[in-house]
Amino acid sequence: MELENFADEFGPEYVIEVYDKKVGLKGILVIDNRSLGPSKGGIRMTPTVDVSEVFRLARTMTWKNALAELPFGGAKAGIKASIEDIKNKERKKALIQAFSKALKPIVPKLYIAGPDVNTGEQEMQWFFEANGDWRACTGKPASVCMRLFGKSGEKCGIPHEFGSTGFGVAHASVIAADHIDLDIKGATIAIEGFGNVGTFASKYLSDFGAKIVAVGDSKGVIYNENGLDIEKLHDVKENTGSVVNYNPGKVLKNKEIFELTVDILIPGALPDVITKDNVNNVKAKIVVEAANIPMIPEMEEMLYKKGILVVPDFVANAGGVISSYAEYRGYNPKRMFELVEKKIKRNVKIVLDRARKDKIKPRDAALKIAQERIRGKITK
């Protein structure tokens, strides 16, 4: 994708490509928009990351931060790395720190990093240490926060095990169910992905009384129409490496999860999983996009015409960036959870009500609201 094909009134402001021959670093940073504050977005490490992908994700962060009413703009970063580099701790550290040092002139003034695909607490610690400023990124280990903000007897920091994104996705699902008069208690749910987002979304939804009937990971999908025991499923995943070893249940191919007859489908791992090849086979009443860009807008249009409610990614999965803001402010986990719940529930309802009122797709309604907020027209 050429720059002139995606530049518009909202951005991108900067597209930065970093190359460090000494360590073999090839990195990308797209700062899309800073109207509301310094740009915020995670760093992903994959063998295939490119400028087009990073821009799409940066633009999503622009909308996500605006919709969540956070004082951040949108950005995203990527490091092109082989599977071997990603698995090798020393190589990974060298790449992260070289990237951080290269971006030091603009971090954190213009850009604040965070975790994403194949990066987490450890990588964020490496990033901020190489930068020298604790504000360089969020997603740092709680021990770092304790040194900065900690009070006697109180935990702080927002490490990934708190599952703020999955927590937000669960609340988004509840609001979406209410919107179509579906009782979340007993509602059947299929979740693609059992990583940081899927595990917590399934836990909280199960706590709310929903019936999780299918969960997928990289090895396949486990399906039981009578419901899965989420605690048991988590243990099976921990002990065997995959949800497919859970019993009782039927093992399905990964792609089959998107075609199950369920009330709520949650794509929670990979991008572009609902395509022209399977969009007509989606049978769910609601699709809650826990993953970033799980389908292109044209696929959402097709689902909308079929009467399927789609909660867009930058609305549904904003719990992560909201908790990043909480960490940035030095909040404790209790206050973070309260903030995530309040903002997710409020904004999902605003978006779905606006979509119904204007007779448009939820994504179109969310975009309008985000753009209004960026332009200084805060929607009450």
User: Of the candidates 315, 198, 181, 180, which has an alpha carbon nearest to the alpha carbon of residue 189?
Assistant: 198
Cα–Cα distance between 267 and 287 in angstroms, integer? 8
Q: How many C-beta atoms lie closer than 10 Å to residue 135's C-beta?
A: 14
Cα–Cα distance between 270 and 60 in angstroms, integer? 15
Under DSSP, is residue 172 helix (H, G, I), strand (E, B) or coil? helix
Cα–Cα distance between 5 and 280 in angstroms, integer? 29
DSSP string computed for 10-56: TB-SEEEEEEETTTTEEEEEEEEE-SSSSEE--EEEESS--HHHHHH
The DSSP output letter for 209 is: T
The DSSP output letter for 256 is: G
Radius of gyration of the chain (CA): 20
Cα-based angle 159, 48, 292 (whole degrees, multiple of 5): 50
Cα–Cα distance between 222 and 236 in angstroms, integer? 11
76 is catalytic: yes
Q: How many angstroms separate the Cα of 177 from the Cα of each of 170, 310, 311, 345?
A: 11, 11, 11, 12
User: Cβ-count burial of 267 within 10 angstroms (0-12 exposed, 13-18 middle, 19+ buried)?
Assistant: buried
- Residue of 64, 76, 203, 237 marked catalytic: 76
Residues linked to residue 44 through DSSP beta bridges, in sequence order:
78
Residue ranges of alpha helices (H) inside the chain are 3-6, 51-67, 83-87, 89-103, 121-131, 142-149, 164-179, 196-207, 230-240, 297-305, 313-316, 319-328, 333-358, 362-374
Determine if residue 261 is left, alpha or beta; phi over 0 gives left, psi from -120 to 50 gives alpha, anything else beta.
beta
Instruction: Provide the annotated active-site residues.
Output: 76
